[in-house]
Structure formats: C-alpha cells, structure tokens
Amino acid sequence: MNFIENGSVTTPKGFLASGVHCGIRKNQTKKDLALIFAEVPCTAAAVYTKNLVKGAPLKVTKDHLANGIARAVICNSGNANTCNADGEEKAEMTCDALTKALNISAEDIIIGSTGVIGQPINIDAIIGGIPELVESLSKNGTPAAEGIMTTDLVKKEYAVEFELGGKKVSIGAIAKGSGMINPNMATMLSFITTDVKISAEMLNEALHMAVEDTYNMICIDGDTSTNDMVSIMASGLAENTEITEKNADFDLFVKALVMVTAQIAKSIAKDGEGATKLLRVIVSNCKSVEFARTIALSVVSSSLVKAAMFGSDANWGRVLCAIGYAGCDVDITKIDVSFKSKAGEIPVCENGAGIPFSEEIAKEILLCDEIDILVNMNDGYQRAIAYGCDLTYDYVKINGDYRT
C-alpha cells in the first residue's frame, strides 16, 4: 500500500476531472468550478456537516444520494450558496444543466459550494461555464483540486494504490480546507473516488469509519462550516470480488481509505489560515478511544496551546489545562507530556507535575514547522491523533476582511 506520485481523483479507473474559471470569483486567474465525472454508474456515499445551518447543495446532494448511486460531482468556490431563499432552486438548476451536458440523470449528481455565506450565487456564470468544464474533462485531476480552493494556499490531492483480492486497486481524493474547520463532520469539502467494487452500504460504513479517525480529528479555529461534506464514488472497475460485508477485504479497504484521509487531514491542518506550524496531538495509553479522541481534540483546539506553539513557548501547563476541561474521567496525576519535532524530543511533565527541562532545547524543538504534542495517559491501551495548527496574527488578518 503506497501513495502514488501526482495521484488524484482521476487515478482510479473510470474517472475524469476538470476545473475552470467561470466568473464567480473576481480573480480570473483562479479556477472557481470543478467537475469529477464517472464513466460508469458508481455506488456512492457522503457525510455532511452537523451545523444546523446547511448549504443548499448539501440538501440537494442528500436527496440525490438516497439511492446510493452517483455519476458526477460539481462544485464551485467563491460562494457558499447558503442562507439564500433560492439556493436549492439554483443548485437544482446547476444539476439540470450538467445533466444535459453529460447525458446523465440529475439525481446522480453530487453538488457542493464553498465561499461566502448569504450572498446570491451567480447561476448564469455556473451554467455558462459548464460547456468548457465538460469539454476539458481529462485524466488530470489537478484542475479540479484547484477549482474548489478558497483561502487554501496549496492544493490537496492524493491517491494510494494497493492489492485487493489479487486485483490492483486505488483510492484518490481532492479536498479544500484552510479555515472554518472544526470537527463534527464534515470539516471541509472532500471528494473521493475509488475503482474498488463495493456495495453502497459497505462504502457508507467505510467512509464513516475513516471520517471518525481523520477528518473529524481536525481543528483549525473552532468553527464548524455550513457547507462542508465528504463524498465518495466507487466505480467497481478494478473488478475485485464485490465487498458486501465486513471481511478482510473490507478491513484492507478501510485501512487504505484512512491512509488517504489522514494525509488530507494533515494537509488541511498544515494549511490552516495564517498557520506557520502543523500540530499533532498524540494521546496514548488511554482507557478508551472516545476519551483519547476527546482529549486530543481538546488540546489541539485550545487557543492558548495554539498561541504558545506560535511563540515556541513550552507552556505545558496549557496542555494539562485543556485535558482538565475535556470532560473525561481521567487521573491527572498519571499524565506525562512531551514536545517533539525533527529537532528532537523533550519531556516537560511527568505524573501531572512539572519536571526540570532546558528552555533553550525546548525552544529549538518548538521552532520547527511540524510539532507533536505527546500525551501519555498511562491509564489504558487506546490512542488517538488530532490535527491542528498554531494561532497567528495572520489568522485575524485573513478573517477580518474575508467577505470584503
């Protein structure tokens, strides 16, 4: 099982993609409309944001995926199509236009939007851009990855290849996410493809399992978006024995899916708005997986921890503080904390109390751009990883004038 160089959503058999500038965004150098097209009907599944305010595209997609079948994904950036009286109507208009261009059913279309909330979406620009979008479909997934970006500084696209039942199979994905990121699925827009043959029920199960340990373990700023979701389409063209139950093939598929989504989670955290450092909070030896996840998220979400990491300040007390208000029944007197990076590792707390350590060495470790906060609960065998970033001046600058 390995990552494919330059892999994307078009790596699995049966998928094409494209991305164009249609006119939603003022900057004509930025793509603002993306398409993923499956050459055959696919089993499909999705997970949606838990925010009660949901974008119109999510409502439309949920209706379309009721039968577990999809053929295409269309997504625009620059406008969320949320909190608009005609939002669902315009989302359906987009699907109708794409239906004519691709000769597929509107009910087989997954639709997404990302950008500013509460502003009418330019449906004429989207419909006008669809012919070029369809015409430019190819095995290059990068234009689609670029078409869904908003404040992202880097595109996010990956693919893994592995063997399943004697057949070579693959999973590919693109994603966007930089701000307004907080667990409660979804935490971003992510579109995944695979050529594995798997039933819609098992695909849905696998997606939820992968999301729980990766996408739902990211926190950039504590805001859960209105529009975000993750979807997956499976073409079945790898011709493996269809996965219809939880067995060894299903477990291997989930492992590969987690490998992709974990890489995306890491990329989104590292690309957090204004971020200079990727943070990973690794909680080990915890009494339950649920406690480990909750504690890891509490630490990575702490504004005080994030600010300390920005300043390369080994303020481990803030880590203990975040564990203390996580709401888990744990023994604080057993906890050990260390900071780790490519510059080394330094223990700073043992049995819930401070220990002597070199501030100079700690500073060198925390000056690196990827930092692990290691929390050993010494109270069990379960673990979890949460992904986040530091809190910088630039985060406020970016979000202070995001709409204007």
d(CA 336, CA 349): 5
d(CA 215, CA 265): 6
Pairing of strands 109-116, 167-176: unpaired
d(CA 211, CA 222): 18
List % helix, strand, coil for the chain (3-state, nearest 5).
35, 30, 35
Nearest residue to 388 via CA among 233, 270, 296 = 270
Say what angle helices 303-310 and 316-324 make with each other, to 10 degrees. Answer: 170
d(CA 281, CA 44): 32
d(CA 116, CA 195): 34
Whether the CB-CB separation of 100 and 45 falls below 8 Å is answered with no
Residue 86 corresponds to which tokens in the numbers above?
Answer: 């005609």
Residue 79 corresponds to which tokens in the numbers above?
Answer: 């406008």
CB atoms within 10 A of CB 126: 26
Transcribe 122-181 into DSSP letters.
-HHHHHHHHHHHHHT-BS--HHHHHHT-SS-SS-EEEEEEEEETTEEEEEEEEEE-SSS-
Phi–psi pair at 251, nearest 5 degrees: -60, -40
Our answer to whether residue 187 is catalytic in this structure is yes
Q: Which position among 114, 187, 226, 261 bears the catalytic label?
A: 187
Instruction: Tell me the CB-side half-sphere exposure of residue 34, using CA atoms within 13 A.
Output: 34
3-state secondary structure of 236: coil
d(CA 372, CA 349): 15
Catalytic residue positions? Answer: 187
